[in-house]
Amino acid sequence: MVPETALSKNQTNTHTTVTPSIAFNTTTTAAPDIITQWLNKIPLPRWAIYAIAALIALVFVICLLCICVKCCCRGKRRKRKKEKDEQISLKSVSGATTAALVQPDVDDIDYGSAEKPKGRLLYSLEYNTQSTELTVGVKEAAELKAMDLGGTSDPYVKLYLLPNKSKVYETKVFRKTLNPVFNEQFKFQVPHSELNESTLVMQVYDFNRFSKHDIIGELRLQLSTVDWNHVIEEWKDLNEASKFEQENLGDICFSLRYVPTSSKLTVIILEAKNLKKMDTGGLSDPYVKVQLILDKKKWKKKKTTLKKQTLNPYFNESFTFEVSFNQIQKVQLVISVWDHDKMTKNEAIGKIFLGCDATGNQLRHWADMLSNPRRPVAQWHSLQSAEQVDSTLALKHTLKIPFANKNF
Ligand SMILES: [Ca+2]
Ligand SMILES: [Ca+2]
């Protein structure tokens, strides 16, 4: 440093015409020299120029900070939203749902495309010629197509025989998995004469609490092609579900609430949608019957008001029944949607039943109600054909069936 200052002093001495500032800068590079010259051309005091420069720099830094903060906030918000989504889906898992929460589960919104592979199903078949009993084992599924937003599905399997679709079974629902292990067995009575004409249908569905269940894929096995000398256990790729057989009768949403201390069962019929068209005008006149069956007898019955000319009726009608804790474990709740006709007999559009001996989605709703006493639990259900439900109920009551083929 010392020799440098000495040199600059020397230079100021030799070049007397130049200003001290220029003399100082000659010792450094040429660029600051240009800046100084340029600064000298501005008709403002030097302190003002520096102040303006500082101000511009400050504004620039503030802008930069703002952009950074905004980016960070967006990241945090996204993270918070993700956490919230997880909370919502966890809530649906716990089954603690109220009637006020009847809206699509975030994870239950479709996003799958039709072209993706559906997955595979491992099943077993066994036919006992003596008892004419067909045993179908639904073992497990693998690499199922994801139907929900979270990239998973809530699979269960529905199985029945054609052409006589008298009994429809469902496995338990497995939440948030694409590789469920069911390990359930189902028995069908099939006489020898019918075995070769029968087709076993196994459909894998994605359960959705607040919307229609989506079919993931299905298997159709013509039993005439099966070699019954061996126990069959094999994996098969699921196929696209055939559309023609899936008759859509409509969906119904209702909430169930049971208060053991006061022995009150409350059923709130909320709404129905996409009901089957029963009248020539392309609409229906729906109302809902709520019925309790106890010890194989019609026990209690109530019905909603009639909604004229609609396929998407909104009811929000509440019915309370007195059912003791002992009875709630044996009772069957039958919900049926009917089309009113002025001139002819009213026709059942569809039906479902719930209770401890129900299966699949209906059993799940019933169990949710029992495990959440005093809380209303709402859920959508797909209606089944009245004949099918009547037949299932009749099969459960092999003694006297005074109402087996009548409409409830
Ligand atoms: Ca689902
Ligand atoms: Ca009608």
**Are residues 254 and 394 both part of a single domain?**
yes
- Using DSSP, state whether 73 is helix, strand or coil: helix
pLDDT of residue 261: 95
* Domain assignment of residue 153, given as a range: 119-238
Q: Is 48 domain-assigned?
A: no
Q: Is 261 domain-assigned?
A: yes
Given 238, 267, 295, the domain boundary residue is 238
Number of neighbouring beta carbons within 10 Å of residue 204: 29
Give the CA-trace dihedral at 169, 173, 177, 182, to 10 degrees: -50
Report how far residue 33's alpha carbon sits from residue 13's, in angstroms, rounded to the nearest whole number. Answer: 19
Q: Measured in angstroms, how far is the CA atom of residue 399 from the centroid of ligand 1?
A: 39
Q: Measured in angstroms, how far is the CA atom of residue 138 from the centroid of ligand 1?
A: 20
Q: Measured in angstroms, how far is the CA atom of residue 205 from the centroid of ligand 1?
A: 9
Domain count, the chain: 2
Q: What is the pTM of this model?
A: 0.48
Given 238, 268, 297, the domain boundary residue is 238
| Neighbouring C-alpha atoms within 13 Å toward the C-beta of 166 | 12
Average pLDDT score over residue span 264-277: 94
**Are residues 187 and 233 both part of a single domain?**
yes
**Conformation bin of residue 388: beta by default, left when phi > 0, alpha when psi is -120 to 50:** alpha
**Are residues 255 and 224 both part of a single domain?**
no
**Are residues 274 and 342 both part of a single domain?**
yes
Average pLDDT score over residue span 245-257: 85
- Using DSSP, state whether 167 is helix, strand or coil: coil
Q: Measured in angstroms, how far is the CA atom of residue 108 from the centroid of ligand 1?
A: 4
**Are residues 257 and 172 both part of a single domain?**
no
Which amino acid belongs to residue 299? W
For residue 309, which ligand has an atom nearest its CA? 2
Q: Measured in angstroms, how far is the CA atom of residue 350 from the centroid of ligand 2?
A: 14
**Are residues 334 and 388 both part of a single domain?**
yes
**Are residues 185 and 276 both part of a single domain?**
no
Structure confidence by residue, pLDDT tens digits, 287-342: 999 999 998 888 999 999 999 999 999 999 999 999 999 999 999 999 999 999 88
**Average pLDDT of every residue of the chain:** 78
Report how far residue 215's alpha carbon sits from residue 157's, in angstroms, rounded to the nearest whole number. Answer: 10
Q: Is 215 domain-assigned?
A: yes
**Burial (0-12, 13-18, 19+ Cβ within 10 Å), 108:** buried
Q: Measured in angstroms, how far is the CA atom of residue 153 from the centroid of ligand 1?
A: 5
Indicate whether 71 pLDDT > 60.
Answer: no
Neighbouring residues of the ion ligand 1, judged by CB less than 5 Å: 108, 148, 154, 206, 208
Which amino acid belongs to residue 336? S
Given 191, 217, 238, the domain boundary residue is 238
Neighbouring residues of the ion ligand 2, judged by CB less than 5 Å: 279, 285, 339, 341
**Are residues 147 and 197 both part of a single domain?**
yes
The DSSP result for 184-197, as a single string, is EEEEEE--HHHHTT
Q: Is 408 domain-assigned?
A: no
Q: Measured in angstroms, how far is the CA atom of residue 270 from the centroid of ligand 2?
A: 20
Q: The domain spanning residue 170 has which CATH number?
A: 2.60.40.150
Q: How confident is the model at residue 67 (pLDDT cuts 50, 70, 90)?
A: low
Q: Is 89 or 385 the better-scoring residue by pLDDT?
A: 385
pLDDT of residue 343: 83
**Are residues 376 and 349 both part of a single domain?**
yes
Q: Measured in angstroms, how far is the CA atom of residue 107 from the centroid of ligand 1?
A: 7
